[in-house]
Structure 1
Amino acid sequence: MTLQRSDKVRAVVGVTSNRLLVDGVHRDWLRRKYVKALLHHAGVACVILPTIDAEDARVEVARAIMGALDGLVLTGDESNIDPAVLKAPASYPGADQQDVEDGLRDRPRDRLSAVAIGRAIALGMPILGICRGLQELNVHFGGTLHPSLAEWRLGSALMHAEKPDRPRDRQYDAAHTVRICSDGGLFPIARVIEAQVNSLHNQGIKALATALKPEAWAPDGLVEAASVIGAPTLQIGVQWHPEWHVSTDLLSKRLFTAFGEACVAYCQTKKH
């Protein structure tokens, strides 16, 4: 069975979901902001990718789905990454640990990202990592994370953390500037060397993987964007959330547009 595309649907991208555990019931979930931004500003259709349990990590379903897609979006989430699981998705948690703990860990998501990133890289398809997605790319390629920015620098923790005293939509207002590398892949998209971005994350890149090129930095030196070196298409991650104010923020709009164009180009190469 193959995905049927109408003439109006030019590309289909996979979007990573997260695992939610409520009253002992497991659910996969995704914020609509990602879907809306991709539909209206990247011009692509979306397939929501389900999270993966340890016993299912070797099943080929997720890999088969990836082969039918034209791009991958690694979404954000409040949970911290478990690097051991992301590097070995079939691994089980210890007997005294839960796979899912609200706001702390989401190993089913880690497994999904491990499989999806591996296939996307192997297939040479466009990748857009957002917040947690940037960190997942870094860990996938052998980089490391600060487990908690609060333990790294107090000022950094304040700069990058959620602002719980604000309404939810105002938490995604600009929080700090980023300096964009003038000879990287982000600069031709952003067309500026400095921009204002939002910031809502607890972890951050400690050592950038050697396979990644830094594309932007926060005032405290934290890497805020990185791209895959030598990629055949746009494969990039950003630490901020461009999906939130994409209709009014020029950098966000340009980023989604560029990703959509890369997905269309990839889709067209598959037809030949």
Structure 2
Amino acid sequence: MSRPIVGIIGNPHILDDDYPIHAVGHMNSEAVATVAGCLPMMIAPDPRLVSVEELLEACDGFLLTGGRPNIHPEEYGEPETEAHGAFDRCRDAITLPLVRACVERGQPFLGICRGFQEVNVAMGGSLYPEIRDLPGRMNHRMPPDGTLEEKFALRHTVKFSAAGPFHQMMGAQEVMTNTLHGQGIKEPGARIVIDGYAPDGTPEAIYVKDAPGFTYSVQWHPEWDSANDPVSRPLFEAFGEATRAFAAARRGQPLRQSA
């Protein structure tokens, strides 16, 4: 069986100040290809260009990436404020129904940063617009200066539920992560299980209860140094195994282990 296809959600950018593009970070594609063992395929998240139905048929799993624009608060019933920042309504229109369809079908997805937030909102949850403004919370945002190594450096621990799925996957109940985000979960959506927290109480790891497929999402950035990091690697490996299993099942082929 050929490698299963993982659709990587892209983000809009302006190249050279005037040329609009969709793009995904190289580290996302590399993690999907070299650690998950799947074929990375960029998705232009715009309902004028693609439909959720087409994506479900074309891809075996999905990587819901991070991105600067935030989910519009209307998606969880709140008014827009300056604190909510920039938005990408086109991505909202694709990813939110895509998450719900994947949960229903058992189609694997891995949510990262904004993707983590999309999963919560798709399941009926809400978000705080700025975590660092909450009493007792840390500043989880990426440093504005420094090298990529410095920006993606490990910053704080995440503690998982004892014997929970993340604990079992990682082989440790507490791990170090490179959390980089401004928003965070306010109210968890229906069936959203918060399985890991930062020291300040910010949710950092979730999954969808009783979902038939892989629904793990994290608020940190496991795509960075995914081949070597002891937290990132098992997450992408598990995502790859789940995607291979889904692809084999729907093609009626025996599951073959990755090399």
Report Cα offsets for 1:124-173 as digits up to 9, x if no partner. 1111000111100001111111111132137422xx11112321221111
Rounded to whole Å, the distance in 2 between the matches of 1:229 and 1:151 is 30
Please say if 1:123 is aligned against 2:105: yes
Which residue does 2:117 correspond to in 1? 135
Conservation of the 8 A alpha-carbon contact between 2:138 and 2:200: yes
Report Cα offsets for 1:29-59 as digits up to 9, x if no partner. 1111000011000000022111215xx3xx8
Which residue does 1:267 correspond to in 2? 247
Rounded to whole Å, the distance in 1 between the matches of 2:69 and 2:142 is 13
Q: 1:221 to 1:86 in 2, by over 3 A?
A: closer
2:30 pairs with one of 32, 36, 44: 36
1:65 pairs with one of 55, 75, 82: 55
Q: 1:96-175 alignment to 2 at 5 Å?
A: 104-153=86-135, 155-157=137-139, 160-175=140-155
Conservation of the 8 A alpha-carbon contact between 1:14 and 1:66: no
Rounded to whole Å, the distance in 1 between the matches of 2:76 and 2:227 is 33
Conservation of the 8 A alpha-carbon contact between 2:125 and 2:188: yes
Which residue does 1:244 correspond to in 2? 224
Moved more, 259-268 or 23-32: 23-32
Task: Give the SS at the match of 1:67.
Answer: helix
- In structure 2, runs of 5+ residues without a counterpart are 253-259
Which residue does 2:21 correspond to in 1? 27
Which residue does 1:15 correspond to in 2? 8
Cα deviation, residue 199, structure 1: 1.5
2:41 pairs with one of 47, 66, 79: 47
Conservation of the 8 A alpha-carbon contact between 1:180 and 1:216: yes
2:178 pairs with one of 180, 198, 204: 198
Q: What letter corresponds to residue 84 of structure 1 in structure 2?
A: E
Count matched residues. Answer: 245
Q: What letter corresponds to residue 151 of structure 2 in structure 1?
A: Q
Q: 1:104 to 1:153 in 2, by over 3 A?
A: farther
Task: Give the SS at the match of 2:213.
Answer: coil
Q: 1:52 to 1:60 in 2, by over 3 A?
A: closer
Cα deviation, residue 184, structure 1: 2.3
Task: Give the SS at the match of 1:27.
Answer: strand
Q: TM-score, with normalisation over the residues of structure 2?
A: 0.87
Which residue does 2:165 correspond to in 1? 185
Conservation of the 8 A alpha-carbon contact between 2:97 and 2:122: no
Rounded to whole Å, the distance in 1 between the matches of 2:104 and 2:76 is 17
Please say if 1:209 is aligned against 2:202: no
Q: 1:81-92 alignment to 2 at 5 Å?
A: 81-85=71-75
Rounded to whole Å, the distance in 2 between the matches of 1:133 and 1:197 is 17
Q: 1:217-228 alignment to 2 at 5 Å?
A: 217-228=197-208
Which residue does 2:256 correspond to in 1? none
Rounded to whole Å, the distance in 2 between the matches of 1:26 and 1:62 is 23
Moved over 6 A (4+): none
Q: TM-score, with normalisation over the residues of structure 1?
A: 0.83
User: Over the residues paired in the alignment, what is the CA RMSD in angstroms?
Assistant: 2.1
Q: What letter corresponds to residue 14 of structure 1 in structure 2?
A: G
Task: Give the SS at the match of 2:172.
Answer: coil
Conservation of the 8 A alpha-carbon contact between 1:16 and 1:112: no
Task: Give the SS at the match of 2:223.
Answer: coil
Report Cα offsets for 1:91-147 as digits up to 9, x if no partner. xxx9xxxxxxxx722222222212321332232111100011110000111111111
